[in-house]
Amino acid sequence: MVEILGIEDLQAMEVDIHVACPKPENVDLEQVKATVPIGRKTAQAVEGGMKVKGLCVPNFAPDCDQIVVANAAVTVLIRMNL
């Protein structure tokens, strides 16, 4: 962004994160926002994603016979004075 758009203050960008997963109440939104290194961040979790039956390997974890998929969309808004 710095080289292409000439933006000097990367913290001025707005970053909005949407996470869709089977149990949105279990998503730590502060941890999600912490993964984004720049900008003013917002995050929300909604019901979605996918949960399907999988193969359990007890050496990895107990009760691990489900595959849980979360989808995330990240929108970056850059306000420019042209």
Task: Please name the residues in contact with 14: beta carbons below 8 A apart, sequence gap of 6 or more.
Answer: 39, 40, 42, 76, 77, 78, 79
Domain boundaries, the chain: 2-77
The mean of the pLDDT values for the chain is 90
pTM: 0.79
Mean pLDDT of 6-14: 83
Give the CATH number of domain 2-77: 3.30.1330.20
**27-36 pLDDT, tens per residue?**
999 999 999 9
pLDDT for the residue numbered 56: 85
